[in-house]
Structure 1
Amino acid sequence: MRILHTADLHLGQVIYQNYERRDEHRHFFNQLARWCRTYQPDALLVSGDVFDIQQPSATSKEAFANQFMELHRQCPSMAMVITAGNHDSASRLQTEREVWQLANTHIIGTGPSIVAQEGWEEKFIIRLKAGYVVALPHMIGARREQLQALLNKVAQENDEGKPVVMMGHTAVAGLDATGHDFEIGKLKTQALSEFGEGYDYLALGHIHKPQTIGHQEDCMKEEVSYPAPVVRYSGSALHVSCDEAYPHTVSLVDIDKHQGTVTVKQLRIDELRHFHVLPHEGAYHSAEEAIAGVAQFAKDHATGYFRLRVDYAVALPSNFNQMVYDELLAYGDEIRYNPKIIWEGQAEERTDAMGKPTFEVAELQEMQNPMDFIEKTKDQYEHLDLDMVRKAFEEVEAEIVRMNEEEQATKKAKAERKDKNTSIA
């Protein structure tokens, strides 16, 4: 069985509150189409975060449809399996499931319901001539019994010993979160045992650095073989920040048989715009020096993203960011600025006259999780139990998911009763 594994497309992303990335995504899909034609995989797997936000624009949805339909036209025999991530609206993706099946594409938006119904497993098992794909979207909390039930069902019918691939969008123990905003100690991870037993390859999304769990030393090797099972993050399609200073790849995976050998070949993605931190060594020691560095970078590269590293002792003028943008006017959107400055030379948090932490506007704009702000201001609250607050947020989130699932199950049951009564009448 041969698959191409990618994830975290983040279609529609507007990076640094200012720059659209449609041309970068087109550049990525052109490469993906070429690899599909070249390697003729049995399936293309997209393990979550198809879109960057849960309510993508019409332009983003059109790009999604156009790009994946083009992949289907070029490789009609290749199945495509797309699952929802935490950035996606699970229900919105799910509503298009039936239509996309006409293009040999399987979209899995919502996870298994807490209220199990007969035959529920069929929604998550994709049977291919070469093997099986157990497709699972992002889910809150562990679902080991349900996942094992899916793998057991596959095992019961897999008389020919075909490869078994499972998909997921989550953080697992042992990962390398380099480049992400969260710290590894604050990232809730699942033990691999929660995914059950019986898969040969676990195709994960959510973490942007390409890596094979338990084999971090091999993360940059072009081709490696392992005995099954193998657990791998393909990494994101595009660099999502300047902190992701590592190659991004698509994983070409060959599995010879169930419980056999898994070979992973990394296909290096050519980024349309590269990310840079200026200066490449050290830090700027004045606003004038930083602006001169920006001007030189723009002249030398003519395209790309950059972020500035400035000595902590420098007092930048209030209009510094506008000065940077003014310097870039002649380049349109080709030279793109991340206004979140890296401060060097002092470990302490920046504080005001009262000793309270202060933040750049861009820092506040990029905080998507309330815990990010709470953790940065925790010293102001003497008796605050961070673990308790974090657990409370997780419980609220899980409860919302549970309520939504119960609501969907109730609506479905009512609709089925109505259909049954109508047919009787």
Structure 2
Amino acid sequence: MKILHTADLHLGQIIYQNYERNDEHDCFFSQLERWCQEEQPDALIVSGDVFDIQQPSAAVWKSFTDRFVRLHQASPTMHLVIVAGNHDSASRIQSNHEIWKLANTHLIGTPPPADFTSADEWQKNFIISLPNGYIIALPYMTGERTSMIQSLLDYVKAENTEGKPVIMTGHLTVKGSDMTGHDFDIGHIRTQEIASLGTGYDYLALGHIHRPQTIGHRDDNQQTDVTYPAPVIRYAGSALHVSSDENYPHTVSVIEIKSHGGKVRIRQLRINELRHFYLLPANETAFASAEEALNGIKQFAEKGGRGYIRLQMDYATSLPSDFNQMVYTITDAYNGELRYNPKIKWTGTSENNTVEATKPKFEVAEIQQMTNPVLFIEKTKQQYPELDMDEVRQAFVEIEAEVKRMAEESNASRKKTIQN
């Protein structure tokens, strides 16, 4: 059995509040399409975070459809297995799954029911039986579901009388994974024990962590062709770099397994990124003044530097209030090819870094699911000692009332137009 494994596409991402990445995704998908044609795998697995936000625009949904239809056309016999991640809307991913089956595409958004033992044949919704093996497809789930996962593996075991390879995919973080590149200024990522994921799979295709890696084989992460005995757990890594901290290659994994319990061969196909991330200055020092930083950006651009830039500044540096605007004035001359990350990386020591030490930590998915902004402010209020929470709450009450009033006026206006 041969599969291609990728994850964390983050379609529709707007990075640093300014820059769309549609052409970067086009570059990635053109390579993925070529690899599907060349490799002719049994399946392409996308292990979650298909979209960057839970409510992507119609244009982003169209790009999803167009790109995956082209992948199907490039390799009509290949199955596409796409599961929802924590960035995705489970119900939206699931809603069109029946029509997508016509193109050998399996969209798995909604997880199994909590009372799965009372449901008949529920396993069939999450098990894809192919001529050369089995794929157990699980979307992002909160909490550990060990008994449910093992039930799926046992179901496949009973069916798998010919000893075919068994692949399972999911979107989560296992203990021992290398999270280099993830931003933990606000949130943290909840981890699970490997044992909680059951036994009986040959290859566990994971998403959520952006660095390509095989768990338990950290020294081999850069090898382009390596073989291990089953079972193997691997993160394919994200399709695009998302920060200057991701200073490692991003790849698509090619997995080949001859039989259940046998050897697992992993080949890495290097993704050619359209834009790269750079930390300035490049010599691991820090800028000591605004003028020095601006000159550094100009020199980088004049030498042909393009892509995303982030500045490293010494803590003792005092920047003018319009510093970011000064940077944008420089970068705007390059038609979007020189892109600025306004989150400066500070080095050295700060005279007042007590707030940094007391920042609360949230599980990333918890932040994404917050619908009440006041809740987030309450949990972070120790960072803002001058904040009056009563005033904040009252301000949001007034905002909600104003939004409601505007909506009522808009509805009344529409009704009046219709009546006329």
Confirm or deny a common fold (TM above 0.5): yes
Distance 1:299 1:247 in 2: 26
Indicate the residue corresponding to 2:338 in structure 1.
Answer: 335
CA displacement 1:142-176 (0-9 Å, x = unmatched): 11111111111100011110000000100101101
Shift of 1:127: 0.6
- Counterparts of 1:110-259 in structure 2 under 5 Å? 110-116=110-116, 117-182=119-184, 186-259=188-261
Shift of 1:345: 1.2
- Aligned partner of 1:75: which letter? S
The 8 Å contact of residues 302 and 334 in structure 1, kept in 2 or not, is answered as: no
The 8 Å contact of residues 177 and 183 in structure 1, kept in 2 or not, is answered as: no
Distance 1:5 1:229 in 2: 16
Find the residue that maps to 1:301 and give its secondary structure. coil
Distance 2:269 2:379 in 1: 38
Going from structure 1 to structure 2, the CA distance change for 1:21 and 1:203 (only over 3 Å counts) comes to same
Structure 1: unaligned runs, 5 residues or longer: 360-366, 382-425
Distance 1:251 1:374 in 2: 42
Shift of 1:299: 2.0
Structure 2: unaligned runs, 5 residues or longer: 360-366, 386-420
Going from structure 1 to structure 2, the CA distance change for 1:259 and 1:11 (only over 3 Å counts) comes to same
- Aligned partner of 2:50: which letter? V
Find the residue that maps to 2:3 and give its secondary structure. strand
Going from structure 1 to structure 2, the CA distance change for 1:158 and 1:356 (only over 3 Å counts) comes to closer
CA displacement 1:91-116 (0-9 Å, x = unmatched): 00100100110100000001101132
Find the residue that maps to 1:328 and give its secondary structure. helix
Distance 1:200 1:274 in 2: 34
Indicate the residue corresponding to 1:10 in structure 2.
Answer: 10
- Counterparts of 1:56-67 in structure 2 under 5 Å? 56-67=56-67
Indicate the residue corresponding to 2:105 in structure 1.
Answer: 105
The 8 Å contact of residues 356 and 380 in structure 1, kept in 2 or not, is answered as: no
- Aligned partner of 1:123: which letter? N
Distance 1:118 1:183 in 2: 44
Find the residue that maps to 2:346 and give its secondary structure. strand
The 8 Å contact of residues 168 and 203 in structure 2, kept in 1 or not, is answered as: yes
Find the residue that maps to 1:264 and give its secondary structure. strand
Shift of 1:350: 4.6
Distance 2:378 2:304 in 1: 39
- Aligned partner of 2:272: which letter? D
Distance 2:376 2:269 in 1: 34
Going from structure 1 to structure 2, the CA distance change for 1:380 and 1:95 (only over 3 Å counts) comes to closer
Distance 2:35 2:123 in 1: 31
Q: Give percent identity, aligned residues only.
A: 58
Distance 1:289 1:103 in 2: 55
Distance 1:380 1:327 in 2: 33
- Counterparts of 1:26-425 in structure 2 under 5 Å? 26-116=26-116, 117-182=119-184, 186-280=188-282, 281-346=284-349, 350=353
CA displacement 1:1-55 (0-9 Å, x = unmatched): 0000000000000000000000000000000011111111100000000000000
Going from structure 1 to structure 2, the CA distance change for 1:293 and 1:374 (only over 3 Å counts) comes to farther
Going from structure 1 to structure 2, the CA distance change for 1:378 and 1:82 (only over 3 Å counts) comes to same
Over aligned residue pairs, what C-alpha RMSD do you find? Answer: 2.4
Indicate the residue corresponding to 1:420 in structure 2.
Answer: none
Distance 2:121 2:276 in 1: 47
1:24 to 2:24 alignment: yes
Distance 1:28 1:11 in 2: 11
- Aligned partner of 2:150: which letter? Q
Going from structure 1 to structure 2, the CA distance change for 1:300 and 1:345 (only over 3 Å counts) comes to same
The 8 Å contact of residues 234 and 249 in structure 1, kept in 2 or not, is answered as: yes
Shift of 1:223: 1.1
Indicate the residue corresponding to 1:414 in structure 2.
Answer: none
Find the residue that maps to 2:303 and give its secondary structure. helix
Shift of 1:139: 0.2
- Aligned partner of 1:310: which letter? M
Going from structure 1 to structure 2, the CA distance change for 1:6 and 1:356 (only over 3 Å counts) comes to closer
CA displacement 1:206-265 (0-9 Å, x = unmatched): 000000011111111111110000000000000011111111111011111100000111
Distance 1:137 1:204 in 2: 10
Find the residue that maps to 1:178 and give its secondary structure. coil
Distance 2:126 2:272 in 1: 33
Distance 1:243 1:195 in 2: 29
- Aligned partner of 2:230: which letter? A
Distance 1:379 1:324 in 2: 28
- Aligned partner of 2:122: which letter? W
Indicate the residue corresponding to 2:398 in structure 1.
Answer: none
CA displacement 1:99-139 (0-9 Å, x = unmatched): 11010000000110113210100000001111000000000
Find the residue that maps to 1:5 and give its secondary structure. strand
The 8 Å contact of residues 357 and 377 in structure 1, kept in 2 or not, is answered as: no
Shift of 1:358: 12
CA displacement 1:385-422 (0-9 Å, x = unmatched): xxxxxxxxxxxxxxxxxxxxxxxxxxxxxxxxxxxxxx
Shift of 1:303: 2.4
- Aligned partner of 2:286: which letter? A
